[in-house]
Amino acid sequence: MTAPYPFTALVGQDDLRLALLLNAVSPAVGGVLVRGEKGTAKSTAVRALSALLPEVDVVAGCRFSCAPGAPDPACPDGPHEVGGGVARAARMVELPVGASEDRLVGALDIERALAEGVKAFEPGLLADAHRGILYVDEVNLLHDHLVDLLLDAAAMGASYVEREGVSVRHAARFLLVGTMNPEEGELRPQLLDRFGLTVEVAASREPDQRVEVVKRRLAYDDDPDGFAGRWAEEEGAVRARIVAARALLPRVRLGDGALRQIAATCAAFEVDGMRADIVMARTATALAAWAGREDVLAEDVRQAALLALPHRRRRNPFDAPGLDEDKLDETLEEFGDGDTDPDPDPDGGGPDGGGQPPQDSGPEQSGDSGGAARPEAGDDGQPQGGGAGEQQAVRAGEPFRTKVLSVPGLGEGAAGRRSRARTEHGRTTGARRPQGALTKLHLAATVRAAAPHQRARGRSGRGLVVRRDDLRQATREGREGNLVLFVVDASGSMAARQRMTAVKGAVLSLLLDAYQRRDKVGLVTFRGTGAEVALPPTSSVDAAAVRLESLPTGGRTPLAAGLLRAHEVLRVERLRDPARRPLVVVVTDGRATGGVEPVAQAGRAARLFAAEGHASVVVDCESGPVRLGLAGQLAGELGGTAVTLDELRADSIAGLVNDVRESYGSARRVA
């Protein structure tokens, strides 16, 4: 077996290594969420940590890793006698993004339970991770219901499996580590709050550090065992220090002064709930133990705040992460007393003997760069500003709650909250024969299928005889996430300052709605002589918001080019993710002035959308006392609907009337 990359050989990533070590010292801290760009040693650091954890004693043959000295009285493999046991290395269990609920929590063999009356339970990954590490790479891409199950188990220290009246419970205490790339989408604030600590990681911009990263990585790839051997002494020292800190932890004193600083800090930063206070207290205690002290100092409280609070201050995906350190220092100084040390010690507590790990960076680091396209001059006769023929970018208006836009029909895409779909979770709508393993039994349908055959099967009167062919899988209907592709008119006809502010505010509101409904989003803009993909389809709605904020305006209106570019984006995305249905939101006043025969070309492009059946909505941005109704005509050619900016608001009278009309029309179509 190849030796893992040594933890102490990582270059930089101080906060990442400190957060991982604190969880190793005190798993009660609640795990760590690692956010950062690709290639920043996130996965390498987590795998390296598993080699540092001390061995654990387990009951021989127990699939749930019960401790011999205090076995779980409710263990499904129990009861176990106290004492004995065998030692083994602490496990690191990885949860794949595509894992099912059964794979995570375990599953009952429903067929054996019905046919034989045997309660046979197959443990899942939560059981495997008990007393070890559960690592979730790309945790933001997991389905929400899996994240809920995962974090509930981490909070309660136990996993519960309920299936058809049969209940199984087992201990599930583990060090939870999740990694994510924010460019691929955010976790909901409610889920962010369930992670104890969070760290932001980025590749070093220092050439010397980057050179050292490459040297160490190449040396490891050439001879993993030899490279690990050269770091064995440092690894042993950190392992011993973790053991010592764990032993010291129960004796660490968290005084009233430190508790007052913790409470004041959470109040000053307006953190919701009390979880942040508890996590900060546990983190500060672990920091003191890691530094070899029996008292929590102000430096521990400060470091705990930097790790435990930033992700709890984000209330929507457009809030910038981070913490105002000047405000933090002022709060600690105001509420400090003789029980704590008001001056942070930057050299205390790392694996080298201080509070921070050594200054290194990970073995897999890279950086990206990008630039903005050059804007073009406008000639629609609208007031222009900024550069040659271009309006300066204006800020978006305040976001608002939008009416629900959805894709008609019944899909089978990724779990979400927008359009109707066949899903694993939701209301039961029917039954079918299982295709593969049976996961959701439809009991009534199974009984109906078995009932006619009871006489032929020699039923004795003591119960229903059920065979494999009788079993029926429940079919369920829930909601799916869609690809919401925004096609935004940025031409001169849209460039009036107040009007563009309202348009950007509307798109920002739709982006916030897409975030809450777990959609992917994309952004196509058109102006001047053509169209561009400002943002390819992604789960990162905050990236779309950033592109929207700096969107330049001006020039003619190449409506056809914008629609054709959007059509190409959908064609490519359909190859990548065929199950995710698209919803095209065209934000325009409906004018077409760019190119040869612009109106005819725009009509042909719109009819191409209609022919392929893409769901579409046109947000009519036309204003003024005289309106041409061009956006409504465009919606008709697209085969979609049109809404005005006012109707887009969920709480507007116009929107309410429109919703009633749509509901009435849908009811008549169903009838």
546 and 645 housed in the same domain: yes
Tell me: pLDDT of 664 over 50.
no
595 and 636 housed in the same domain: yes
474 and 508 housed in the same domain: no
Q: What are phi and psi of 370, to 5 degrees?
A: -155, 170
520 and 579 housed in the same domain: yes
CA distance 299 to 319: 27
Lowest mean pLDDT among 288-302, 327-341, 602-616, 631-645: 327-341
430 and 543 housed in the same domain: no
The count of structural domains within the chain is: 2
CA distance 358 to 182: 26
Which listed residue (47, 246, 275, 627) is catalytic?
275
Q: Which two tokens stand for residue 460?
A: 């004795």
Residue 528 lies in a domain: yes
Residue 24 lies in a domain: no
**Length of the chain, in residues:** 671
Residue 519 lies in a domain: yes
Name the domain boundary from 479, 497, 524.
479
Residues of the chain with pLDDT > 90, as a percent, come to: 27
The pLDDT, as a whole number, for residue 539 is 80
Residue ranges of alpha helices (H) inside 356-459 are 443-450
The residue ranking higher by pLDDT, 349 or 182, is 182
Residue-wise pLDDT tens digits, 383-408: 433 344 455 677 777 888 888 899 99
Residue-wise pLDDT tens digits, 103-149: 888 876 666 666 565 666 788 899 898 888 899 888 887 877 788 78
587 and 517 housed in the same domain: yes
Residue 79 lies in a domain: no
Alpha carbon 286 to chain centroid distance?
27
432 and 528 housed in the same domain: no
Tell me: pLDDT of 530 over 80.
yes
590 and 465 housed in the same domain: no
Residue 648 lies in a domain: yes
Residue 318 lies in a domain: no
Name the domain boundary from 464, 479, 494.
479
**What single DSSP character describes residue 649?**
B
Categorize the per-residue pLDDT at 43 as very low, low, confident or very high, splitting at 50, 70 and 90.
confident
Judge contact between 450 and 425, C-beta under 8 A: no
CA distance 616 to 619: 10
514 and 639 housed in the same domain: yes
β-pairing, 473-480 with 121-122? unpaired
Highest mean pLDDT among 77-86, 164-173, 284-293: 284-293
Q: What CATH number should be reported for the domain holding residue 633?
A: 3.40.50.410
597 and 502 housed in the same domain: yes
- The mean pLDDT value of the chain amounts to 81
The pLDDT, as a whole number, for residue 583 is 94
Residue 538 lies in a domain: yes
620 and 655 housed in the same domain: yes
Name the domain boundary from 451, 479, 507.
479
Residue 487 sits in which domain range? 482-670
β-pairing, 582-588 with 615-620? parallel
Which residue, among 401, 403, 425, has the nearest Cα to 414 in the 3D structure? 425
Residue 490 lies in a domain: yes
The CA distances from residue 117 to 101, 109, 439, in Å, are 23, 10, 17
The pLDDT, as a whole number, for residue 359 is 42
455 and 575 housed in the same domain: no
Tell me: pLDDT of 356 over 60.
no
Highest mean pLDDT among 20-29, 286-295, 504-513: 286-295
Active site includes 607? no
The pLDDT, as a whole number, for residue 382 is 41
